[in-house]
């Protein structure tokens, strides 16, 4: 007999990066001794990096196995029909001590054809930014492949990229095919399709300890660019308290912003799992049988079978995600 499903917490999968720093361990208490901790994968079924449950009766089981066992009860019947045993989202926190490479991601069609993978449309919510920190998203002028390649060849790519100075709460929606990079000093939450396919087009000419540059993917990246995307990547959203305020809604995920200063009764009306990322404060997630607390920098997954629950908090800010 299958165990009854309940809100699931997972062991973070920690990734050292050449550009990583110390904020994930200092601000979110991620268990690492590294000074180059770049990413905390909160919920993942990427092969080789599958999330493991750390609470309740399903402790030590992994998300991939649970999906295959519980199917629609875990992710929703419509999602199971659409995705099968492929969990559709990858949830991360990212700390950029240095600039990330300038990059883009293929869409579903190209990713399936080349990598047998989902494409990668994503969004960012800035949790903290040092003074002067920026994000690169899109171009600062109308662009085509010929102009882009000329700047790439002449190493003047940064002249045509759009740099935005950012602060806490700033939110960006990055469709597959849009050029982007996280700038030094930015700590953010990332919600994305389940994909680890990145086309790196420029890496600031940096080298590793042995003098090697990281691989670039310009030969295949050019086909992935969508030069005709609109300049609509900045997300405006309302911050009315104790409500789910819409941020991003696209074919791959919906994300809402919730700011709590009192307890909130919730009902899952979507045929989907719900994910809560705590981006500030602390919240207690209460169901009929369970109570779980998540603090800033932590994440919880509510299976689709969990319909009624409470979010108890006096000070939490949450991202609410479903498909």
Catalytic residues: 200
Listed in sequence order, the residues at least 6 apart from 319 whose beta carbon sits closer than 8 Å to its beta carbon are 125, 189, 191, 247, 255, 256, 257, 258, 275, 276, 277, 279
C-alpha to C-alpha distance for 92 and 236, rounded to whole angstroms: 22
Q: State how far the Cα of 213 lies from the Cα of 194, in Å rounded to an integer.
A: 27
Beta-carbon count within 10 A of 125 CB:
24
98: Cβ contacts below 8 Å, ≥ 6 apart: 18, 19, 21, 184
Residue 124 is encoded by which pair of tokens? 């960012």
Instruction: Return the residue matching tokens 């609410």.
Output: 320
Tokens of 156: 């003047």
User: Could you tell me which residues come within 8 angstroms of residue 241 by beta carbon, excluding any fewer than 6 positions away?
Assistant: 259, 260, 261, 262
Task: Compute CA distances 22 → 12, 26, 40, whole Å.
Answer: 15, 6, 12
């Amino acid at each position: 007999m299958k165990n009854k499903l309940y809100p699931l917490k997972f062991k973070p999968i920690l990734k050292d990066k050449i550009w990583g720093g110390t904020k994930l361990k200092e601000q979110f208490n991620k268990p690492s001794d590294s000074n180059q901790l770049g990413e905390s994968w909160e919920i993942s079924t990427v092969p080789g990096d599958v999330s493991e449950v750390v609470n309740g009766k399903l402790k030590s089981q992994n998300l991939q196995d649970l999906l295959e066992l519980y199917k629609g009860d875990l992710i929703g019947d419509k999602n199971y029909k659409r995705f099968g045993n492929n969990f559709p989202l990858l949830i991360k926190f990212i700390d950029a001590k240095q600039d990330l490479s300038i990059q883009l991601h293929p869409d579903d069609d190209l990713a399936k054809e080349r990598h047998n993978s989902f494409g990668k449309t994503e969004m960012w919510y800035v949790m903290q930014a040092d003074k002067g920190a920026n994000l690169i998203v899109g171009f600062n002028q109308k662009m085509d492949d010929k102009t882009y390649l000329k700047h790439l060849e002449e190493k003047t790519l940064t002249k045509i990229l759009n740099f935005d100075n950012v602060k806490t709460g700033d939110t960006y929606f990055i469709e597959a095919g849009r050029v982007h990079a996280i700038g030094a000093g930015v700590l953010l939450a990332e919600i994305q399709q389940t994909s680890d396919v990145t086309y790196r087009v420029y890496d600031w000419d940096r080298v590793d300890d042995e003098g090697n540059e990281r691989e670039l993917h310009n030969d295949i990246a050019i086909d992935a660019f969508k030069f005709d995307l609109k300049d609509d990547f900045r997300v405006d959203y309302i911050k009315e308290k104790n409500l789910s305020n819409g941020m991003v809604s696209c074919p791959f995920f919906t994300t809402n912003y919730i700011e709590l200063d009192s307890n909130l009764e919730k009902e899952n009306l979507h045929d989907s799992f719900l994910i809560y990322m705590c981006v500030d404060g602390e919240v207690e997630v209460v169901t009929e049988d369970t109570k779980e607390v998540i603090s800033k920098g932590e994440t919880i997954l509510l299976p689709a079978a969990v319909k009624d629950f409470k979010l108890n908090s006096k000070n939490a800010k949450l991202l609410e995600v479903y498909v």
